[in-house]
Structure 1
Amino acid sequence: MVITSVGEDAHRVDALLDLGGDERLADGVRQLATARPQSVMWACTSGSFVFGPDGARRQAAKVAAAAGVPASSTSIAFVDALHHLGIRRVAVAASYPQDVAEHFVRFLAADGVEVVAMGSHGIITAAEVGTLEPDRVQAMVAAADHPDAEAVLVPDTAMHTLAIIDRLEAAVGKPVLTANQVTVWKGLQLAGGVPALPGLGRLFEAVR
């Protein structure tokens, strides 16, 4: 794993466009060279969806070309995971400010995913998101849920969710897709196959 450079830790569109810039990602790929990965994931949701669907795919294509292996990003992984599960209507539990969260809604809509409800929590920095306790995360997910949603999405890789996905799904009674979960899933898929992994939610049970 390589942590790419950060100009400013801020959930603002200008800062996120800088975060996902070509040179920052190219530098990250160069640092990965000695690891000889089978796939590469740009493990950042907001730093990919702010570029829009076409921009996010160009971003991933540049990473793949530089790395010489298949590559994707967290935002693209969300869409691919929803297609994999056959889900079209979702609720979003976003840590971001409203304007940033709306970029994610538009990103999903471009691939035919309808957001029927969204909770936006206005947290500016990834550092603060990383301090959220499991009870707070669960409350955010439950508050964002909607009867018409087939799944709840949690789009922030700074939020610690991998250890509590089963708990989150139990709380809402439906799949919960989180940023780190879909990133791992997509990276494994690109590398050749996704094993069934207990504790990582219904996405990792729907192996085919």
Structure 2
Amino acid sequence: MTASRGRARFGVLVPFTNTNLEPDMGLLRPDGVSLHFARLGGYDRDEIPDSEQMHGLGAADLSEPLRLLQGVNPDVILYGCTSATLTHGLSFDRELAKQIKQDSGAQTVTAAGALVHALRTLNAKRIGFASPYVPAINDMAVAFLAETGVKAVRRSEVGGTLDNYGQGELTPDAVYELGRAADHPEAEAVVLSCTDMRSVEIIARLEAKLGKPVITSNQAMVFQAMQLAGLGETLSGFGRLLEAKTT
């Protein structure tokens, strides 16, 4: 049995309808790291999570959830929604991370920023992109990544429009097929974007099929958080990114 505490504390901000980020963090948790969660509002659970809804989440007041997380003195805070800052743009994402760090005193990772960090770590500049988002958010995501010098040479989208719970209810097999459809001969990696999509469970399987790295929002957040916490070990079973030294 691995130790559940003693080395670092990760505080995680989770959109209030998200059902998969917490289980994923349990799967990815490094030895000796404790996990502490606070929920985020700022959007309507009964509306489609389109660009307007996710823009609202990104702009939501974080003072209360941050105050609650500060009660455990986290070493790193993870902002656990990718689309909330993708819809605002790269500058907003960076400023949000700075603001959370300033307000909390903790090192800070955003899901969108972690994807960028992971791609730079792997030196991947041409990618396949997959998500459960509506097409307008995918447009914003591709533009966001383009600002960092990353080009999406193919993208894969779900058929139909998913509500807040539909994204989390996609099965691992459905996520695997979504990722496989995003691959392209020129892609150096495949990105599966969304903290509520069950991507972590199929990373190794998809990498074995494609022969290239697969990066997911939650895996990328843990990778960067480990670096910021000074945890230098590798984690096996969840893709090439976490099998590389984190320091």
Please give the TM-score of this superposition, normalised by the length of structure 1.
0.94
1:28 aligns with 2:40: no
1:5 to partner: Cα distance: 1.9
| Aligned counterpart for 2:204 among listed residues 166, 189, 205 | 166
> In structure 2, what residue type is equivalent to 1:106?
A
The 1-side partners of 2:64 and 2:98 are apart by 15
Matched, 1:175 2:213: yes
Cross-structure match for 2:240 = 202
Contact 1:39 1:191 in 2 (8 A): yes
The structure that is strand-richer by fraction is 2
Does the residue aligned with 2:40 lie in a helix, a strand or coil?
A: coil
Partner of 2:173: 135
How far apart are the structure 2 equivalents of 1:193 and 1:126?
Answer: 34
Take 1:114 and 1:19, find their aligned partners in 2: how far apart are those partners?
A: 26
Q: How much has 1:6 moved relative to structure 2?
A: 4.2
Alignment of 1:1-208 (within 5 A): 1-9=37-45, 10-23=48-61, 25-121=62-158, 122-207=160-245, 208=247
Q: 1:194 to 1:103 in 2, by over 3 A?
A: farther
Query: 1:47 and 1:169, CA in 2 relative to 1: closer, same or farther beyond 3 A?
Result: same
What amino acid maps onto 2:193 in structure 1?
A: P
Shift of the 156–123 alpha-carbon distance from structure 1 to 2, 3 Å rule, reads farther
Residue ranges of structure 1 left out of the alignment (5+ in a row):
none
What amino acid is aligned across from residue 85 of structure 2 in structure 1? S
Instruction: Give the superposition deviation at 1:206.
Output: 1.9
Counterpart code for 1:76:
G
SS of the counterpart of 1:157? coil
Structure 2: stretches of 5+ with no match in the other structure: 1-36
Question: How far apart, CA to CA, are the structure 2 residues paired with 1:194 and 1:28?
Answer: 29
Whether the aligned pair in 2 keeps the contact of 1:22 and 1:59 (CA below 8 Å) is no
Q: Does the Cα contact within 8 Å between 2:179 and 2:192 map onto a contact in 1?
A: yes
Can you list the C-alpha shifts for 1:147-179, whole angstroms capped at 9, x where unaligned?
Answer: 100110000111112222111211222111011
Give the share of equivalent positions with the same residue, in percent. Answer: 34
State the distance in 1 between where 2:171 and 2:60 align. 33
> How many residues were matched structurally?
207
Contact preservation (8 Å) 2:43, 2:54: no
The structure that is helix-richer by fraction is 1
C-alpha offsets along residues 174-201 of structure 1, whole Å, 9 cap, x if unaligned?
A: 1110111111112222222342001110
User: 2:172–2:201: 8 Å Cα contact kept in structure 1?
Assistant: no
The one-letter code sitting in structure 2 at the alignment partner of 1:186 is Q
Q: Per the alignment, do residues 180 and 126 of structure 1 end up closer, same or farther by CA in structure 2, a change over 3 Å counting?
A: farther
Q: Aligned equivalents of 1:106 and 1:113: distance in 2?
A: 9
RMSD of aligned C-alpha atoms?
1.4
Q: Deviations over 1:111-161 (max 9, x none)?
A: 100110011225432311111111111111111111100110000111112
| Residue pair 2:50, 2:137 contacting (<8 A) in 1 also | yes
The question of whether the paired residues in 2 share the 8 Å contact of 1:185 and 1:194 is answered with: no
Change in CA separation of 1:52 and 1:194 when aligned onto 2, cut-off 3 Å: farther
